Structure 1
Amino acid sequence: MKHKGFIDINQTLDKVAELFADPSNLKEYQDGFIRKIHVSGDKGQTGAISKMFYKHGKNEMELTETITKNDLPHTFEASYYHIHMDNTMKCNFTALSDNQTRYEYEYEYTRINWVIPRLMAILFPGMYKKPAEKWLRQFKAFAEKQ
């Protein structure tokens, strides 16, 4: 299951990339974000592995992030592992003008290993798309305030 799209942000390319790259900003636009812990590799660089923690209802969810490509300010790619699912994220940033940046994204769920989420993905594919789109809108609002 793959989702693609873009959002235009009224901010410079370098500023958008700087805000995107700083894990301390995740709490500003990702609902439920708790913390990110660096595990191995050069922090923020290709090959780096981190644990990311989110509040999901009454539970805490843990993801393992592996950065597969970091060519910011233009490109960032990562894979995310959870006990029940895996997904990949590809982000491309393009300057549309001196003060406007296009953020293109592609998210792909490559494994859904639990019956209920798999069934939900088949019956309601938008269920996985809506949170990602919400985070993008929240990132845009956050970036434009900086």
Structure 2
Amino acid sequence: MKYTLDILIEAPLEVCAKKFSITEYMNHWHRGLVSIEHLSGIPNELGSKMKLHYKIGGLNLNQIETITHKNLPHELHCSYATKDLDHLQDNFFTATSQNQTKWTSVNECVPLNFNMRIKLWLMPKTFKKQSLQAMKDFKNFVENGTSVAHA
């Protein structure tokens, strides 16, 4: 399943790209993020890997993030791997004015088993909604300093 989302952020390109790429800020816009474990590579650089630990609705979820392309402040592409799904996310940041940034997120979800294939087919809006919520949370964090860390 492939989909593209975008959002307009009331902040300069450099501010958005910096806040997006700093690992310590992730808990402010990744709902349910409990901890981050560095696995390999130079943190926040091309090829680096981190294990992200989430607790969402009583469930413990883990995913491995790998930075697959980095050209900040304009692009940061990552892959997120779980036991059921590979999620490829290409992020593009464009200055629309001096104090506005358009974030475009191109996503591809690749199911790794039959159950996830069925979930993607039956509930594609759920995956898109979750991605859009993260984008809104990032926008709110950048514009207002609002964190979802304790939500």
TM above 0.5 = yes
Normalising by structure 1, report the TM-score.
Answer: 0.94
Q: Match for 1:111: what amino acid?
A: P
After TM superposition, the runs of 4+ consecutive aligned structure 1 residues lying more than 6 A away are none
Measured in 2, the distance between the counterparts of 1:121 and 1:109 equals 8
Offset of residue 85 of structure 1? 1.0
- Kept in 2, the 8 Å contact 1:84–1:114? The answer is no
Measured in 2, the distance between the counterparts of 1:113 and 1:134 equals 26
- Is structure 2 residue 137 aligned with structure 1 residue 141? no
Question: Aligned to 1:45, what secondary structure does the other structure show?
Answer: coil
Question: Aligned to 1:132, what secondary structure does the other structure show?
Answer: helix
1:22 corresponds to which residue? 22
Measured in 1, the distance between the counterparts of 2:61 and 2:71 equals 28
- Counterparts of 1:1-146 in structure 2, within 5 Å, are 1-115=1-115, 117-146=116-145
Measured in 2, the distance between the counterparts of 1:29 and 1:112 equals 27
Once the two structures are aligned, what percentage of the paired residues are identical?
A: 30
Q: Which moved more, 1:69-78 or 1:105-114?
A: 105-114
Measured in 2, the distance between the counterparts of 1:98 and 1:53 equals 36
- Kept in 2, the 8 Å contact 1:93–1:102? The answer is yes
Measured in 2, the distance between the counterparts of 1:37 and 1:114 equals 29
Question: Aligned to 2:119, what secondary structure does the other structure show?
Answer: helix
Q: What RMSD, in angstroms, separates the aligned Cα atoms of the two structures?
A: 1.2
- The number of residue pairs the alignment matches comes to 145
Normalising by structure 2, report the TM-score.
Answer: 0.91
Question: Aligned to 1:46, what secondary structure does the other structure show?
Answer: coil
Offset of residue 38 of structure 1? 1.1
Question: Aligned to 2:4, what secondary structure does the other structure show?
Answer: strand
